[in-house]
């Protein structure tokens, strides 16, 4: 994977460029970093600098171990799912404070690096944008690289907007420390409308000059036209949603339809392998990894303790309950056939592809979370690594990778940022709000439900707009489980005051005879709490103080 080798071999460029700009009182040329002058003098080095903008720096413990963070929490210890109703992180790692509603500007848990990382990346993009004309290269290539930089910058703004609301707009300026005293615009937050309009316009500009397909060495790890349009569709869906109310459902539907009309992407047949293979027809934009480029290996960090794993992001019963029966009926339907004492029989195929449960087949053995005596429960080895919920994460795991001692061996699977199923769901949600559940809404959702490896029954005909809205919300929860969507979905729908104020449930399995179990729901993490202020994250106190308190904090903090 040529792409990944370039990304990891030039970490010094990303880590050291701007610190080298500060005046050195000893007047000694540093030897541990690549200087800006060198980057601008070499077109290959300049392009490698741009490739490194898909990553950022590690800003807190257990973040980007071995390889620098990209966009989001993918391939970190605690995933974003563990600050939602999808999972809990078994050993906390600064997630429980968010689950329990105690996040504050002084203590932001794992959510504390988004503001600083995003603005650092924006400044780094602005450096390249402002200097690209001085680098010797062909005009078409310069045009493509500039579009790529605008996409990366827009992605960072998208991350700021969906976490904080209206944000400070940098334009193309490269701010320095002295600007704290001279430029009041540095701390003025734009409105949510202004912020959203800017990011969407940048994605339009990027899409116009990005290639439809990258060459084989780069796909899908660098921006394409489809990636820019898909991110735009996501942003416009957010903009129209109840929390935002700065856009229209029609604009969101049109944006998603533009990606569909490219006829470039399609759903992968195998839902399980989708998250393991480096490239397929469904992936639009993803983080790529390579053997030898060390990062947190998902198998050991999330695997069962009986296999040598650490339990990591343990799925909640709240998430398990969202999966329908394989006849298409929710488990709350009295006619569904659900048996609470055989709770894992005849469920949606995506359940089996995403979650390990008591009795599941796994790596030539059977998951045993039961007590007494289950090898993957509290009676198993390393019981501090036993799941607190009764479940283990299955999604994203590659069974070809070892669980025990995976370092420098495991790690070929991608982390997907944008995929076609999300685009279809974005379209279905927006179009349902525009016109109700027309044929195109049904078609978009049913494509996902009926892919070859899932074969979930089509949605019932004749649904009302409200019923279709509920069906789409459930479909997003199940299809996109653990992929960093749920946290934002429940907020933009303004239902987090319900979903995040429900206890974090798990399931105890008690062995009453060989192969016979009694299942009892339990609270896996007490004290889950969500307040209205938590619809947005707090800006870290350090950033407020660095502005001499000129930067406005989000309400309630």
Give the phi and the psi of residue 545 in degrees, each rounded to 5.
-65, -35
For the segment 277-294, the average pLDDT, to the nearest whole number, is: 83
- pLDDT tens digit sequence for 419-474: 999 999 999 999 999 999 999 999 999 999 999 999 999 999 999 999 999 999 99
List the single range of 164-178, 228-242, 318-332, 490-504 with lowest mean pLDDT: 164-178
| Range with the poorest average pLDDT among 85-94, 155-164, 182-191, 223-232 | 182-191
Running DSSP on this structure, what letter comes out for residue 239?
Answer: H
Report the alpha-carbon distance of residue 488 to residue 485 in Å, rounded.
Answer: 6
**Looking at residues 267-287, what average pLDDT do you find?**
93
pLDDT of residue 192: 98
| pLDDT confidence band for 557 (50 / 70 / 90) | very high
Q: Which of 19-33, 299-313, 384-398 has the lowest mean pLDDT?
A: 19-33
At 23, is the pLDDT very low, low, confident or very high (cuts 50, 70, 90)? very low
Q: Please, what sign has the CA dihedral across residues 397, 402, 403, 407?
A: negative
User: How far apart, in whole angstroms, are the C-alpha atoms of residue 129 and residue 146?
Assistant: 6
Say if residue 291's pLDDT is above 70: no
Tell me which of 15-29, 97-111, 384-398 is least confident. Answer: 15-29
Under the banding of pLDDT at 50, 70 and 90, the label for residue 1 is very low
Confidence at 290, pLDDT banded by 50, 70, 90:
confident
Higher pLDDT, 25 or 160: 160
In the structure, what pLDDT confidence band is assigned to residue 61 with cuts at 50, 70 and 90? confident
Question: Which 3 state secondary structure label does DSSP give 366?
Answer: strand
Average pLDDT score over the chain: 92
pLDDT digits (tens, 9 = 90+) for 109-157: 999 999 999 999 999 999 999 999 999 999 999 999 999 999 999 999 9
| Confidence band for 185, pLDDT divided at 50, 70 and 90 | confident
Q: Which pLDDT value is given to residue 350?
A: 98
Q: Out of 75-89, 170-184, 200-214, which region has the weakest mean confidence (pLDDT)?
A: 170-184
pLDDT mean over 319-323? 98
Q: What's the confidence (pLDDT) of residue 288?
A: 84
Structure tokens at 123: 């400044």
Q: Average the pLDDT over 304-311 and give the result.
A: 98
Task: Note the pLDDT of residue 465.
Answer: 98
Confidence of residue 220 (pLDDT cuts 50, 70, 90): confident
Q: How confident is the model at residue 29 (pLDDT cuts 50, 70, 90)?
A: low
DSSP state of 107: B
For residue 380, what is the DSSP state? Answer: S
- Percentage of the chain lying above the pLDDT 70 cut: 92
Q: pLDDT exceeding 90 applies to what percent of the chain?
A: 81
Residue 10 pLDDT > 60, yes or no?
no
With bands split at pLDDT 50, 70 and 90, how would you rate the model's confidence at 382?
very high
Phi and psi torsions of 107, nearest 5° = -145, 95
Q: How would you classify the pairing of strands 365-366 and 361-362?
A: antiparallel
Which position has the token pair 């310069």? Answer: 142
pLDDT at 408: 81
pLDDT at residue 28, rounded to an integer: 65
pLDDT in tens, 396-416: 999 999 999 898 888 778 899
> In this predicted structure, what is the pLDDT of residue 14?
36
In this prediction, residue 8 carries a pLDDT of 28
Nearest to 232 by CA among 438, 441, 430, 414: 430
List the end-to-end C-alpha distance of the chain, in Å, as a whole number.
45
Residues sharing a CB contact under 8 Å with residue 523, sequence separation 6 or more, in sequence order: 503, 504, 505, 506
* CA distances from residue 106 to 89, 244, 343 in whole angstroms, order as listed: 21, 26, 42
Beta strand pairing status for 355-356 and 283-287? unpaired
Tokens 């989001």 correspond to 72
Look at residue 58 in the predicted model and tell me its pLDDT.
84
Q: How many CB atoms lie under 10 A from the CB of residue 422? A: 25
Span 200-226, average pLDDT: 90
Cβ burial of 279 (10 Å; 0-12, 13-18, 19+) is: middle
Whether the pLDDT of residue 395 is over 60: the answer is yes
């Amino acid at each position: 994977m040529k792409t990944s080798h370039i990304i990891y071999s030039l970490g010094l460029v990303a880590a050291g460029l701007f610190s080298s700009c500060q005046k050195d009182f000893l007047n000694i040329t540093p030897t541990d970093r690549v200087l800006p002058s060198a980057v601008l003098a070499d077109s290959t080095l300049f392009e490698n600098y741009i490739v490194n903008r898909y990553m950022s720096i590690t800003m807190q413990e257990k973040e980007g171990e071995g390889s620098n963070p990209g966009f989001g929490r993918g391939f970190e210890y605690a995933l974003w799912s563990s600050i939602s109703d999808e999972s809990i992180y078994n050993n906390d790692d600064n997630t429980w404070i968010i689950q329990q509603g105690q996040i504050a500007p002084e203590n932001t848990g794992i959510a504390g690096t988004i503001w600083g990382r995003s603005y650092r990346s924006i400044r780094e993009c602005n450096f390249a944008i402002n200097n690209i004309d001085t680098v010797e290269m062909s005009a078409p290539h310069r045009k493509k690289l500039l579009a790529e930089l605008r996409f990366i910058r827009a992605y960072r703004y998208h991350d700021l907007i969906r976490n904080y609301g209206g944000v400070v707009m940098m334009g193309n300026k490269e701010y320095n420390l002295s600007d704290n005293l001279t430029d009041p615009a540095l701390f003025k937050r734009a409105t949510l409308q202004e912020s959203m309009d800017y990011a969407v316009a940048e994605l339009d500009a990027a899409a116009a000059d990005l290639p439809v397909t990258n060459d084989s060495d780069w796909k899908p790890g660098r921006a394409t036209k489809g990636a820019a349009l898909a991110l735009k569709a996501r942003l416009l869906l957010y903009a129209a949603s109840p929390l935002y109310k700065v856009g229209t459902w029609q604009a969101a539907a049109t944006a998603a339809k533009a990606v569909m009309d490219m006829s470039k992407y399609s759903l992968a047949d195998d839902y399980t392998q989708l998250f393991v293979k480096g490239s397929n027809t469904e992936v639009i934009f993803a983080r790529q990894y390579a053997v030898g480029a060390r990062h947190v290996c998902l198998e050991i960090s999330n695997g069962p303790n009986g296999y040598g794993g650490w339990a990591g992001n343990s799925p909640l019963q709240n998430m398990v309950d969202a999966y329908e029966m394989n006849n298409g009926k929710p488990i709350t339907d009295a006619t569904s056939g659900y048996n609470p004492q055989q709770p894992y029989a005849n469920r949606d195929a995506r359940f089996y592809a995403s979650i390990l449960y008591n009795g599941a087949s796994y790596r030539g053995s059977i998951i045993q979370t039961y007590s007494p005596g289950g090898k993957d429960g509290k009676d198993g080895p390393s019981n501090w690594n036993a799941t607190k919920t009764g479940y283990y994460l299955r999604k994203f795991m590659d069974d070809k990778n070892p669980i025990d001692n995976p370092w420098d061996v495991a790690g070929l699977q991608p982390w997907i940022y944008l995929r076609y199923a999300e685009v279809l769901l974005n379209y279905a949600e927006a179009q349902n709000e525009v016109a109700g559940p027309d044929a195109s809404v049904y078609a978009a959702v049913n494509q996902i439900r009926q892919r070859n490896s899932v074969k979930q029954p089509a949605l019932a005909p004749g649904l009302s707009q409200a019923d279709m809205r509920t069906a789409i919300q459930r479909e997003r929860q199940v299809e996109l489980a653990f992929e960093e969507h749920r946290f934002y979905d429940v907020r933009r729908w303004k239902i987090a005051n319900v979903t995040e104020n429900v206890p974090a449930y798990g399931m105890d399995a008690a062995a009453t005879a060989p192969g016979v179990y009694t299942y009892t729901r339990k609270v896996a993490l007490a004290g889950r709490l969500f307040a209205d202020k938590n619809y947005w994250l707090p800006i870290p106190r350090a950033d407020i103080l660095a502005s001499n308190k000129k930067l406005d904090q989000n309400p309630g903090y």
